[in-house]
Amino acid sequence: MSDPRFFAVPRPVALEEIAAWCGGRLVDPALGYVTVTGVAPLDTAGSGDLAFLDNQKYLGQLAATHATACLVHPRFVGRVPREVAAIETAEPYRAFATVLARLFPAAFRLEGPYGGEPGGISAEARVHPSARIEPGATIEPGAVIGARAEIGTGTVIGANTVIGHDVRIGRNGHVGANATIIHALIGNRVVIHGGVRIGQDGFGFAMGPRGHQKVPQIGRVVVQDDVEIGANTTIDRGANRDTIIGEGTKIDNLVQIAHNVVVGRHCVIVSQVGVSGSTTLEDFVVLAGQVGIAGHLRIGAGAQVGAQAGVMRDVAPRARVGGSPARSIALWAREIATLKRLAERSGKAAAGGQEQEEG
């Protein structure tokens, strides 16, 4: 539920307006005047709340919901209780996100942990005289902005964050508290959550019997527009070329991106993924949680890698792989099913042998 201490209660909004916002169809137009003042999950929603159904596993909750209205896929419209207004939409979750952004704009526009009105440099921040901070940027207490760094208008730099010398950060972005950004160029509307580390040394050593000699890392990190990077993720700078995060890519918490990695546009990388050095992810790749990818590989455009997979070789475009070592989802599923059958047979045989001994 939303707490009015953090997110103001929205004004009452009529269902006909809600439907217009998200391009949905109010199944009973006579209910267009009915208003909602908040959102809630199906199982806790009450009078005045808007809910949504995007997964049929929650049909039981839909049947019992007390929400005023529900965003629902056309195939489930008939399952909505009579006392709940149905707003039909082909993409209920996306529609819900659209409505949330209109009802709770403060949640859509991230603010720094210090709060208050945006814009201005805190007297408790340390900004190098040669840094260029555009009007409308916010620098919160404890932040350190290095020499010749540039911060665009509308961008928030959170408390105790360190922006290294010569770093460029675009406009209307957000950098959370206690982040560190060095040797990097950051685009517009980029969201970097708290604790992120960008631009530190890549893990490069010339290994040998006389010891491991450190290889200087002289590349950068380039983060393009509209990227989001989750809390405590690390992105190493390139060794002799750039580490690149493509436009619109979304990275979850606790992800490791190694040096020289190139991530394409609109990729999705879920928590605890590790991508080894010099690997390329083409556009629209999806890596599920805890995937590990070896170095110097290419993951083709639109490929999807299942959770906890270990990728040891290139993945073709649009392929779906899982397991370790990763192989096609279909093959992996057959292998798991076969192993299960063998284990069950072995268990039955062992039980039968024990019965004979006892007899």
> What span, in angstroms and rounded, lies between the C-alpha atoms of 246 and 265?
4
User: Cα(162)–Cα(200) distance, rounded to whole angstroms?
Assistant: 12
Of 73, 183, 259, 296, the catalytic one is 259
CB of 178 within 8 A of CB of 157?
no
Closest by CA position to 307, among listed 273, 265, 261: 273
The number of helices, as runs of H, and strands, as runs of E, in the chain is 5, 40
Long-range contacts of the stretch 287-296 (C-beta < 8 A, 24+):
289/252, 292/324, 295/258
Query: Cα(45)–Cα(157) distance, rounded to whole angstroms?
Result: 36
- Annotated catalytic, 212? no
Q: In this structure, which amino acid lies at residue 308? A: Q
Distance in angstroms (rounded) separating the CA atoms of residues 45 and 346? 50
Burial class (CB in 10 A: 0-12, 13-18, 19+), 140: buried
- Non-local (6+) Cβ contacts of 235 within 8 A are 196, 197, 198, 199, 221, 223, 229, 243, 245, 257
The secondary element (H helix, E strand) that includes residue 186 is strand 184-186
Intra-chain end-to-end CA distance of the chain, in Å? 63
Question: What are the beta bridge partners of residue 153?
Answer: none
Name the helix (H) or strand (E) containing 126.
Answer: strand 126-127
Give me the amino acid identity at 132.
R
- Give the residue numbers marked as catalytic: 259
